[in-house]
Amino acid sequence: MTSDFYTNIFDVVRLIPTGRATSYGAIAKYLGAAKSSRVVGWAMNQSHTLKDKIPAHRVVNRLGMLSGKMHFETPNTMKERLESEGIKVKKDQIKNWKTVFWDPNIELDFD
């Protein structure tokens, strides 16, 4: 079912370990839709309407920038939560992005 795509997105986001973060493209690629990264972002937009809130703050663009911070309760919520998990954020951009980057394609691996 097509709905699984959204379900998978939320599922992967929930699997993101604390103190880590990933990108929309990484999730999309893991789901086999690398070109549908925009849909991942759209899914995040829908996430706030879900009963089970997901750690969308752990999902940023490929540059590690808090591109969707403005969609949270407040533009500061995303940064606050990330720093609360030990992720350093400088000027809306995650520091040591390469280090905190959690790639489902590698961490979860393909079965």
Provide the binding-site residues for DNA, judged by CB under 7 A. 2, 5, 23-26, 28, 33-42, 44-48, 56-57, 59, 61-63, 67-72, 78
To DNA, the closest distance from the beta carbon of 99 in angstroms equals 17
Q: Helical H runs in the chain?
A: 3-15, 24-30, 37-47, 77-84, 97-100, 104-107
To DNA, the closest distance from the beta carbon of 110 in angstroms equals 17
To DNA, the closest distance from the beta carbon of 91 in angstroms equals 13
* Nearest residue (CB) to DNA, 53 versus 95: 53
Would you say 83 and 93 are in contact if contact means Cβ atoms under 8 Å apart? no
CA distance 27 to 9: 7
* Nearest residue (CB) to DNA, 35 versus 51: 35
DSSP category for residue 70: G
* Nearest residue (CB) to DNA, 3 versus 110: 3
Please give the radius of gyration of the chain, using alpha carbons only, rounded to the nearest integer.
13
